[in-house]
Amino acid sequence: MKPLTSFEKRVYTVVKQIPAGQVRTYAWIARRLKKPRSARAVGNALNKNPFTIIVPCHRVVSSDGSLGGYAFGSGLKKKLLDIELSAINDRKVFEGYYVIRNSVKIEGIGQ
């Protein structure tokens, strides 16, 4: 395994804190890292994530409300989110918006 960069380590630290059943955007992670223009770099770091059980990169989605990428395919990403969402309430607040169970649709995202 290739050593992690300091940026990758920082991304994984933030992503590990996303609770099950909730999602955050790549841009949200970038802002949290004080690098607001690095959303694409966040995505690239998550694509290389060697710790998928520990670092739940499937909980990171695009700002336009789409699922975004996932190293194991978007179908599995949606399935993982559906499983998590079905284990909690029908609606979960995320950054002031609702994530709708079973559709993994994010309402109101405009960033």
Domain ranges of the chain: 6-106
Under 8 Å between Cβ of 109 and 42: no
Q: How far, in Å, are 54, 67, 80, 89, 97 from residue 57 at the CA level?
A: 9, 11, 11, 21, 20
Tens digit of each residue's pLDDT (9 = 90 or more) over 73-94: 988 998 888 888 776 654 554 4
57 classed as catalytic: yes
- CA torsion through residues 17, 22, 26, 27, sign: negative
Q: Of 96, 94, 104, which Cα lies nearest the Cα of 19?
A: 94
Catalytic residue among 29, 57, 81, 106: 57
Architecture of the domain defined by 6-106: Orthogonal Bundle (1.10)
Tell if the pTM clears 0.85, that is, is over it.
no
Backbone angles phi, psi at 47, to 5 degrees: -65, -25
